[in-house]
Structure 1
Amino acid sequence: MEHRAGESPPSSPQFSLPDGGSVLIAGPAMTHKRRLMLSLLAESDDSQRGGKIVVTTRKPAPTITTEFEHIAGHSAEQFEVIDTTSVADLLSRDARSAQSRYVSNPGDLTGIGIHLTESLRTHFEAGRTARVGLHVLSTIAMYTDLKRVFQFLHVITGRIAAAEFTGVFTLDTGFIDDRELELLKQPFDALIETRETESLAEVRTRGLDIGPKTWTPLRV
């Protein structure tokens, strides 16, 4: 979905995110989950003062920021990245973005939780709305056991809901079985499933009435 710099952020006619809830985008790798997550984060809120916070476990902070700006069509203001990719080890302190926080690795759930909670509190105390994205849970699950991942998600989605913010998390399903998927889905209010067909990616939703209930071409 292309648009010119300076225009309003794109709207997503396919989805309407809940206020005070979190959504899981789950599907095979390479089904545009990160782009969908960023497009949902880029949707403008009524106050035009909303913050965006992204936890990234694969792409470094500069890449996530650039992708967001391309999708949103404007510079990333009130946009923060919590980077767990160890990219900070390759950057001098002068090169690190003031809008980014760094955690040693995706398995450091305590570090991620501390940074994320601080960011949420900052937006809440400033009277701003906020949308939180996390890409991708599968990497976190490679570093720690699923019980800890579930506990982390239960706490974070609870804090997002309590502040009446919105969360959008992604999960690659090819690395887990059905039982594990059912466990990781529990903290979320709704599920957006993705799949790849011969010609394009498709989506459908489960849970809240936030999007198409049958497989529909993905437009992002």
Structure 2
Amino acid sequence: MPSASVALDPDALAPGTNVLLSGPVMTGKQRVLLRLLAGGDPTDRGTVVATTRTSADAVSRTFEAIAGEVPDDLFAVVDCTGTIAESRVRKTANRRFLSNPGDLTGVGIGLTEFMRRFYHRGDEARVGVHSLSTMLMYTEFRRLFQFLHAVTGRIDSSGFVGAFAVDSSALEPRELNILLQLFDSVVETRDGDESVEYRVRGADAGTLGPGSWTSF
């Protein structure tokens, strides 16, 4: 039986931490990811999001609803939804647009560019990717693992915080176990009897959130 509702504590994530959010579709992983990215003071540090399903503008609005108003130069988005074909806009100061989520090289370049900007300014930053599942529709698992190995390594070495979401049904159990090697903790989500439930496994269980299934 799940315990009573307990809130996640994004402030519990230490610099250099990478977290994986894993669960079925429609269990609120994007909003949980943005809540993790909103930890600390997002008006005093950088936030970078790579989005494969939701436009840059929509992600910005959702993040602002969670974190409050954030200065434009502190919130950057790598939009991989393919809307570039419609907008013909390749980039702005805080936006990068890619033709599809399978362009892992482009995603990596965009994330690294923004991370370097914040790092060289002496800012802390949080970095999120939603969703790895969409990327897997365009590329093979081996390439995705190599991409994640590079990005999580940069987050760790920069002292940033990373959060990555995946639909658990998109991976074989063996693949999920391989991915988990790259992360300090995993936040699992599922449909409960009355609401969505979650639990935390790994180094941050008990600080980031409970280790047993709990209602949001």
Residue 15 of structure 1, CA deviation: 6.8
Secondary structure of the structure 2 residue equivalent to 1:138: helix
Residue 27 of structure 1 aligns with which residue?
A: 23
Residue 8 of structure 1 aligns with which residue?
A: none
CA 1:194 to 1:168, structure 2 compared with 1: closer, same or farther past 3 Å? same
CA distance in 1 between partners of 2:101 and 2:161 (Å): 22
CA 1:198 to 1:14, structure 2 compared with 1: closer, same or farther past 3 Å? farther
Residue 184 of structure 1, CA deviation: 1.7
Q: CA-to-partner distance for each residue in 1:102-149, whole Å, 9 max, x for gaps?
A: 112111111111111111111100000000010000011111110111
Residue 12 of structure 1, CA deviation: 4.2
Question: Structure 2: which amino acid aligns with 1:30?
Answer: M
Aligned 8 A contact 1:15 1:211 in 2: no
Residue 74 of structure 1, CA deviation: 1.8
Aligned 8 A contact 1:20 1:164 in 2: yes
Residue 49 of structure 1, CA deviation: 2.1
The reply to whether residue 124 of structure 1 matches residue 122 of structure 2 is no
CA distance in 1 between partners of 2:40 and 2:14 (Å): 14
For residue 137 of structure 1, the aligned residue among 125, 128, 132 is 132
CA 1:168 to 1:14, structure 2 compared with 1: closer, same or farther past 3 Å? closer
CA distance in 1 between partners of 2:52 and 2:82 (Å): 9
**Aligned-pair Cα RMSD in Å:** 1.9
Residue 148 of structure 1 aligns with which residue?
A: 143
List aligned pairs for 1:1-220, cutoff 5 A.
Answer: 12-13=8-9, 16-45=12-41, 48-75=43-70, 77=72, 78-93=74-89, 98-209=93-204, 210-218=208-216
Relative to structure 2, which stretch is displaced further, 207-216 or 69-78? 69-78
The normalised TM-score by structure 2 is: 0.89
Secondary structure of the structure 2 residue equivalent to 1:30: coil
The normalised TM-score by structure 1 is: 0.87
CA 1:142 to 1:185, structure 2 compared with 1: closer, same or farther past 3 Å? same
Task: Please list every run of 5 or more consecutive structure 2 residues that lacks an aligned counterpart in the other structure.
Answer: 1-6
Residue 18 of structure 1, CA deviation: 2.5
Relative to structure 2, which stretch is displaced further, 125-134 or 100-109? 100-109
CA 1:90 to 1:76, structure 2 compared with 1: closer, same or farther past 3 Å? farther
Secondary structure of the structure 2 residue equivalent to 1:120: helix
CA distance in 1 between partners of 2:107 and 2:22 (Å): 21
Task: Give the ranges of 4+ consecutive aligned residues of structure 1 lying more than 4 Å apart after TM superposition.
Answer: none
Residue 40 of structure 1, CA deviation: 1.3
Same amino acid, percent of matched pairs: 44
Secondary structure of the structure 2 residue equivalent to 1:143: coil
Residue 73 of structure 1, CA deviation: 2.4
Task: Please list every run of 5 or more consecutive structure 1 residues that lacks an aligned counterpart in the other structure.
Answer: 1-10
CA distance in 1 between partners of 2:186 and 2:35 (Å): 16
Secondary structure of the structure 1 residue equivalent to 2:190: strand
